[in-house]
């Protein structure tokens, strides 16, 4: 089954060094590009005002962001950026990473949410996360109904409300329930939600298989991804990439084998 032709883009994170002496930084934006397209996304004043900390000098932070925006608005490709002599020394662009995408703008927004927005817990961001989780959940249900309805049943039970989705395989060999939590490995609340969800199963927990469905691509070299993955696997969670329809489909395809 095909969900369209995927392509690849490259991206760099924008690091802001709030403490240049200790080399401590936060991700404040991202640039995505390929041979034909160059786009960026960076936090704005509304996010800065929501930051509550005494170590960040907001005036310098705002001026730096404005400078970055002016710089990125003046160029049209990554080669021009690489040739730029940047004035400020409290930010830099990361190494180059590669990502597969189906829609360039959607991938830009997804990467921005994954690397940047999760730190700024605004109501707007919370709503975006809820919408994304709901979208992927509905995609999962749709794929099951269209392709695996003879193999998989969706279970609706108030006792399983801590999970985003619970299914059961329609065969006599395996009777286990498979319960899914949707979220990001880099979001502490999502990882904690998984722990609480598993603890909510009091009756016959051995009848369940637990899955953490990552709404973003899993970066195996990212320390946060690796730590959360290791933690969840220790408590019997299986980690699945649900960041695209194709990956959701492949997960269910593997499950029924």
User: Looking at residues 125-129, what average pLDDT do you find?
Assistant: 70
Among residues 73, 92, 120, the one where a domain terminates is 120
Distance of CA 177 to the CA centre of its chain: 26
For residue 20, the enclosing domain spans 7-120
Question: At 215, is the secondary structure helix, strand, or coil?
Answer: coil
- H or E stretch including 130? helix 123-147
Report the range out of 119-128, 163-172, 231-240 with the highest average pLDDT: 231-240
Q: Point out which residues pair with 27 in neighbouring strands.
A: 15
Give the 3-state secondary structure of residue 118. helix
Between these two residues, 11 and 220, which has the higher pLDDT value? Answer: 11
99-110 mean pLDDT: 84
Co-location of 106 and 144 in the same domain: no
The per-residue pLDDT of the chain, averaged, comes to: 84
Residue 84 or residue 248, greater confidence: 248
H/E element, 79 = helix 78-83
Same structural domain for residues 86 and 145? no
2 in a domain, yes or no? no
- The C-alpha atoms of residue 209 and residue 63 are separated, in whole angstroms, by 50
Closest CA to 178 of 139, 215, 151, 217: 151
Cα three-residue angle 204-206-210, rounded to 5 degrees = 115
Domain boundary among 120, 143, 166: 120
């Amino acid at each position: 089954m095909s969900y369209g032709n995927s392509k690849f883009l490259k991206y760099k994170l924008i690091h802001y060094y709030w403490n240049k002496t200790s080399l401590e930084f936060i991700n404040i934006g991202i640039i995505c590009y390929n041979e034909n397209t160059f786009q960026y996304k960076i936090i704005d004043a509304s996010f800065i005002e929501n930051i509550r900390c005494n170590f960040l000098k907001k005036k310098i932070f705002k001026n730096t962001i404005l400078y970055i925006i002016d710089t990125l608005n003046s160029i049209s490709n990554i080669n021009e950026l690489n040739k730029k002599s940047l004035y400020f020394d409290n930010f830099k662009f990361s190494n180059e990473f590669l990502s597969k995408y189906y829609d360039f703008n959607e991938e830009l927004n997804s990467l921005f949410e994954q690397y940047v927005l999760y730190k700024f817990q605004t109501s707007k961001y919370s709503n975006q996360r809820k919408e994304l989780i709901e979208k992927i959940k509905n995609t999962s249900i749709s794929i099951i109904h269209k392709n695996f309805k003879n193999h998989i049943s969706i279970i609706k039970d108030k006792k399983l409300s801590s999970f985003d989705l619970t299914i059961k395989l329609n065969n006599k060999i395996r009777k286990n329930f498979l319960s899914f939590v949707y979220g990001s490995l880099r979001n502490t609340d999502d990882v904690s939600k998984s722990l609480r969800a598993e603890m909510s199963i009091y009756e016959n927990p051995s009848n369940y298989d637990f899955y953490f469905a990552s709404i973003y691509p899993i970066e195996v070299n990212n320390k946060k991804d690796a730590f959360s993955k290791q933690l969840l696997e220790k408590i019997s969670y299986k980690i699945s990439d649900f960041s695209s329809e194709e990956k959701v489909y492949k997960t269910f395809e593997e499950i029924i084998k």
